Structure 1
Amino acid sequence: MSVILVTGSYDHEIRFWEAWSGICSRTIPRTGETGQINRLAISPDKRLLAAGIHKKVCIYEIANPSAPPQLQFDGHTGNVTAVCFHSEGKWLVTGSEDGTIKIWDLRSAHLQRNYDNEAPVNDVVVHPNQGELLSCDQAGRIKQWDLSENICTHELTPAGDIPMRSISLASDGSCLVAGNNKVRSVFRSPVVIFSSLTQGRCYVWKINDERSDLPRFQAVTKFQAHNKYLTRCLFSPDVKYLATCSADTTVKIWSISLNYEFKLDKVLQGHQRWVWDCAFSADSAYLVTASSDHTARLWEMASGETVRQYNGHHKAAVCCALHDGAG
């Protein structure tokens, strides 16, 4: 398959789509599967699909998705919130609300590493060097994990204990973006009226070479991305854009300058409810999004228009994965 597009939903279904026709070509059966689909990832060789399904992780053969999972990892005790493949498909990293980050050997099907994060994990990404992980959590921390030393080597808390919801790492490893939701309380006198204003904020760090005299993570900017909850932030493969998804039903596209300035380029409008996840095409020309309105959409980046809508889920579509590059 030249283009693999997959969505997951609270209806417990994983659907494969023909990207250009909008037709659902295959559905992974719900038989025996209990729990919502939280996260999806496609292996670099396009052979495997990893699905975080409630507290477990199922690995499916993409060529035969109707078959039972090829592998199943049951070590987490809370919702699985992150799944990422090693660049050569040797291992899979998962994060969970149980406060752990686990690395699973896909060849032996055994648990290889287990890191105690001490707080629910909201997102994990693999550094391009394949020797480090970066995670964010409910305690507001961003951590770098060194796989050779087997320890957390750096920790950032840019906004105190405000939970960090999502992180994204530039494909060249030069820049890190993390998004959180800052709630601001308002009181009005003499009659006290309480209200909470939520702001989805993004924090940006330049990542320096560890051999230099500069700090590993150098804070460069922060900006308000949305006036409601921020659910996902994601760099485009060419690192020219950042996409942010939100409870405000929109996806915002931010252009990135060479000196790490983020300028709002366009707002993608069309979803009717929360937008939970997004995935770029390999050439950064298209973006797929998944929403609580039960649909996924394919957007053309140049125009900001929807070019295809994927209908079929019966509940919120909360995750998506796209692989249209070389396998």
Structure 2
Amino acid sequence: MKVSRNKIGKRRKPMKSSANTSEIARGDTVASNMDANNGFTFTEVNSVEASSMKVISCHFSADGKWLATAGHDKKAVLWYADGLKPKSTFEGHTSLITDVCFSPSMPYLATSSFDKTIRVWDAGNPRDSLHIFRGHSTCALSVDFHPNRNELICSCDGNGEIRYWSITDSNCAGVFKGGTSHIKFQPRLGRYLAAAEDNAVSILDVETQARQDLLQGHVKPIQFLCWDPSGEYIASVSEDAIRLWKLGSGGEGECIQELISNGCKFHSCVFHPANSSLLIIGCDQSLELWNTTENKSMTVPAHEGLIASLAVSTVTRLVASASHDKFVKLWI
């Protein structure tokens, strides 16, 4: 793995780490020890074959008690995070599910699908979806809940169309261009929406729907976005690179760090739930742990297929990985 040497600056407190990394231990539960001297470990604690087909999305509930997964079998499954035992299954989509997410404040679950629809479900009642939103002209690829407006969700499709939906009146609340593969609201305030648009990231003002900035620099299409919990930093992932951006008060972004692949295909990423200086990157069969403060990374064997999605719980500090190998795993 080749790591670029751009300066990070005084961004966050560094992770306790050193240049010496131990060999990766393989076993039933032990995945790696990133720094034997300072005791940082990243360990697999559970895994389950979550589907008979590819799993491509996962997300934790706000309290960390539930994990939702979804993928090619057209179903969303709710799991007890403690033990990875299935609780309920949500069925209704007529094609594969591209994204799944929990509301941060309500017992709701949202899914997007190749069938062009967005569905909102009552997490406690899997019988029927509460809402079915139609309007996308092609495959819906991503969906997200606003962090503090319970009635508002957002989705995007393969034609670059972004739609806001109101859960209150079951209507489309706005349509505009700017996102193709992945969208994520800024945590906490929700002032901005980050949208992957081919090989750039659009930063959109949620209220005015105006684009505040277009973050450019990726050569290949961006497949995944994640914010740090403060909503001040955002990471964007393309097959050959991951870029870390610092967002200004006016929504303008600056790339402060980049990790370049030497052949390993990047796909997903998430900030470590206990240390925001550590980015966890989902690749083809492995996880890449990138210490952005020290600009060092290491590889952890993880799955037998592409790691399509990653999720974290800041409550339990668990990390979930969902893969095309049909398995979902938990790490801590």
TM-score (norm 2): 0.77
How far 1:170 sits from its partner (Å)? 0.9
Take 2:66 and 2:31, find their aligned partners in 1: how far apart are those partners? 16
8 A contact 1:81–1:97 mirrored in 2 = yes
| Alpha-carbon displacement from aligned partner over 1:16-48 (angstroms, at most 9, x marks no partner) | 978953332221036xx3111100101111111
Q: Which runs of 5+ in 1 are unaligned?
A: 1-14, 182-199, 209-215
| Alpha-carbon displacement from aligned partner over 1:188-226 (angstroms, at most 9, x marks no partner) | xxxxxxxxxxxx022222233xxxxxxx31222223231
Letter in 1 for 2:176: L
Higher relative contact order (CA 8 A, sep 6+): 2
Take 2:49 and 2:155, find their aligned partners in 1: how far apart are those partners? 31
Please name the residue that 1:103 is paired with: 120
8 A contact 2:186–2:231 mirrored in 1 = yes
**1:216-227 equivalences in 2 (<5 Å):** 216-227=208-219
Please name the residue that 1:166 is paired with: 182
**1:14-163 equivalences in 2 (<5 Å):** 20-29=40-49, 33-54=51-72, 55-65=74-84, 67=85, 69-88=86-105, 90-110=107-127, 111-118=129-136, 119-128=138-147, 129-158=149-178
In structure 1, the residue corresponding to 2:120 is in which secondary structure?
Answer: strand
**1:173-322 equivalences in 2 (<5 Å):** 173-181=190-198, 200-208=199-207, 216-248=208-240, 250-269=241-260, 272-282=263-273, 284-292=276-284, 294-306=285-297, 309-322=299-312
Q: Which runs of 5+ in 2 are unaligned?
A: 1-28, 34-39, 318-332
How far 1:271 sits from its partner (Å)? 6.6
How far 1:274 sits from its partner (Å)? 2.5
Letter in 2 for 1:41: H
In structure 1, the residue corresponding to 2:304 is in which secondary structure?
Answer: coil
| Alpha-carbon displacement from aligned partner over 1:74-126 (angstroms, at most 9, x marks no partner) | 21121211111122451111111111111111122232111113321111110
- State the Cα RMSD in Å: 2.3
8 A contact 1:101–1:117 mirrored in 2 = no
Aligned residues: 277
Identity %: 21
Take 2:217 and 2:94, find their aligned partners in 1: how far apart are those partners? 33
In structure 1, the residue corresponding to 2:95 is in which secondary structure?
Answer: coil
Gap change, CA 1:16 and 1:70, over 3 Å in 2: farther
Please name the residue that 1:193 is paired with: none
TM-score (norm 1): 0.78
Runs of 4+ in 1 over 6 A off after TM superposition: 15-19
How far 1:277 sits from its partner (Å)? 1.1
Gap change, CA 1:41 and 1:143, over 3 Å in 2: same
Gap change, CA 1:312 and 1:206, over 3 Å in 2: closer
8 A contact 1:170–1:176 mirrored in 2 = yes
In structure 2, the residue corresponding to 1:78 is in which secondary structure?
Answer: coil
8 A contact 1:201–1:224 mirrored in 2 = yes
Letter in 2 for 1:314: E
Gap change, CA 1:245 and 1:16, over 3 Å in 2: farther
| Alpha-carbon displacement from aligned partner over 1:54-87 (angstroms, at most 9, x marks no partner) | 111111111121x3x2111121121211111122
How far 1:297 sits from its partner (Å)? 2.2
How far 1:270 sits from its partner (Å)? 5.0
Letter in 2 for 1:278: C
8 A contact 2:245–2:256 mirrored in 1 = yes
Letter in 1 for 2:200: R
Letter in 2 for 1:131: E
Gap change, CA 1:72 and 1:36, over 3 Å in 2: same
Letter in 2 for 1:101: I
